């Protein structure tokens, strides 16, 4: 059976090289006579995986010495709570910027654990907030925003300015797509099923001074201080996910690192947006300054054509283009693993479909 171009927003496409390597290691990994799934997370073989993952992540993102790296279970949704539990402070409120559905979910979850204020909301305008939209008090425990809103395809092109207040970024659908100035952040987190591996886990990068004074009760598996002290192994970690993520980072390094990924990703996104804009048939409604490199939603002139579009795309080996139920239309998620050839195949299909149905 042939592989397809998988445009799913997540869990999403993984590089063939990563899947083949994982497959070849299933019965006998590293000459252990066992799978990674069958070995102890405390043994030296797995310790090497965990160390290599951290080393590669630090090299790729140029993570400064004073930041800690965690690999935790519970995905980004787990971190919605963990951020509030670890960085919220009694008597202080947290401030949230909203530019889409995930930011709203982050607010709803955090509000269970700390006092939350929304200080910008540009969701309805289909763009990321700029400085004039944001009303920071300067007294918050932290400021949270969503760097790339996966569902509508709204991505910040700059880092929000928060002065001395720690900035926390949900980078779930954009981490590793291009370089990030880590030192501008208090913490960054991302679920792994978009650009970093399989679903169910999350990567956290946090400045060490923020986790020195452990706040009140935090469930141990979400406690950044506890997990940092235990190398993310307070509980038995998701070892196979971690191993897959290590292979993904190896693949990114083999491609040439994040500058090269950024060039590829920008070229892919530009090709698709340019085609959509020039077509005068398909439409992307997002403000041009906020268009995502990773998730490209688009509509057809008449939604009665949607089902036919999706059916024929599937036949052409272009899978999972259906947009999120909340906004309809189509969405092409073009993460690191999507080659330019996949984007070109999509554009060719879209052109042909428009000619036949326009």
Residues with catalytic annotation?
Answer: 102, 170, 194
Q: How many angstroms separate the CA atoms of 226 and 244, rounded?
A: 24
State whether residue 66 is helix, strand or coil.
Answer: coil
Please tell me the count of residues contacting ligand PLP according to CB under 6 A: 11
- Smallest gap from Cβ 286 to ligand PLP, in A, equals 15
Counting contacts by CB under 6 A, is residue 155 touching ligand PLP?
no
Contacts of 141 (CB under 8 A, 6+ apart): 87, 88, 89, 92, 93, 94, 114, 165, 166
Residue pair 291/269 in contact by the 8 Å Cβ criterion = yes
- Smallest gap from Cβ 146 to ligand PLP, in A, equals 5
**How distant is the alpha carbon of residue 317 from its chain centre?**
24
Tokens found for residue 51: 């160390």
Binding part of the chain for ligand PLP, among 108-116, 156-164, 170-178, 323-331 by CB under 6 A, reads 170-178
Kindly identify the residues of this chain, within the stretch 60-79, that bind ligand PLP according to CB under 6 A: 75-77
Kindly identify the residues of this chain, within the stretch 75-134, that bind ligand PLP according to CB under 6 A: 75-77, 102
Counting contacts by CB under 6 A, is residue 154 touching ligand PLP?
no
**Which of 5, 10, 57, 195 is in the footprint of ligand PLP by CB under 6 A?**
10
Question: Of the two residues 85 and 350, which places its CB atom closer to ligand PLP in the complex?
Answer: 85
Tokens found for residue 71: 């690999």
Question: Of the two residues 10 and 197, which places its CB atom closer to ligand PLP in the complex?
Answer: 10
Residue 291 φ/ψ, nearest 5 degrees: -70, 135
- Smallest gap from Cβ 132 to ligand PLP, in A, equals 24
Question: Of the two residues 49 and 151, which places its CB atom closer to ligand PLP in the complex?
Answer: 151
Residue pair 84/133 in contact by the 8 Å Cβ criterion = no
Strands 295-298 and 187-191: unpaired
Counting contacts by CB under 6 A, is residue 177 touching ligand PLP?
no
User: Sheet harboring 115-121: ordered strands across?
Assistant: 67-73, 201-207, 187-191, 167-170, 143-146, 93-98, 115-121
Using CB under 6 A as the criterion, which residues of the chain lie in contact with ligand PLP when the complex forms?
Answer: 10, 75-77, 102, 146, 150, 170, 172-173, 191
């Amino acid at each position: 059976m042939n592989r397809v171009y998988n445009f799913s927003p997540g869990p999403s496409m993984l590089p063939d090289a990563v899947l083949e390597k994982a497959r070849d290691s299933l019965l006998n990994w590293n000459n252990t006579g066992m799978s990674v799934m069958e070995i102890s997370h405390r043994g030296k073989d797995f310790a090497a995986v965990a160390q290599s993952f951290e080393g590669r992540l630090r090299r790729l993102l140029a993570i400064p010495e004073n930041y800690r790296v965690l690999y935790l279970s519970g995905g980004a949704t787990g971190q919605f709570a963990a951020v509030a539990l670890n960085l919220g402070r009694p008597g202080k409120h947290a401030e949230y910027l909203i530019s889409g559905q995930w930011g709203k979910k982050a607010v709803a979850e955090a509000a269970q654990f700390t006092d939350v204020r929304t200080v910008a909301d540009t969701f309805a305008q289909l763009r990321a907030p700029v400085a004039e939209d944001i009303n920071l008090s300067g007294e918050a425990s932290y400021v949270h925003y969503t760097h790339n809103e996966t569902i509508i395809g709204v991505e910040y092109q700059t880092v929000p300015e928060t002065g001395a207040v720690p900035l926390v970024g949900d980078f779930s659908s954009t981490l590793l797509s291009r370089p990030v100035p880590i030192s501008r952040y208090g913490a960054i987190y991302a679920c792994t099923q978009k650009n970093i591996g399989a679903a169910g886990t999350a990567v956290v990068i946090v400045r060490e001074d923020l986790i020195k004074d452990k706040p009140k009760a935090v469930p141990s598996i979400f406690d950044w201080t506890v997990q940092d002290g235990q190398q993310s192994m307070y509980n038995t970690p998701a070892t196979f996910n971690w191993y897959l993520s290590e292979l993904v980072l190896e693949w990114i390094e083999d491609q040439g690192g994040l500058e090269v990924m950024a060039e590829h990703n920008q070229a892919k996104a530009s090709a698709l947006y340019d085609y959509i804009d020039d077509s005068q048939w398909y439409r992307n409604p997002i403000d041009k300054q906020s268009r995502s490199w990773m998730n490209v939603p688009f509509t057809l002139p008449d939604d009665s054509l949607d089902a036919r579009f999706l059916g024929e795309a599937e036949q052409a080996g272009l899978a999972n283009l259906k947009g999120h139920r909340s906004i309809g239309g189509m969405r092409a998620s073009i993460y690191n693993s999507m080659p330019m050839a996949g984007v070109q195949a999509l554009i060719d299909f879209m052109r042909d479909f428009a000619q036949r149905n326009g």
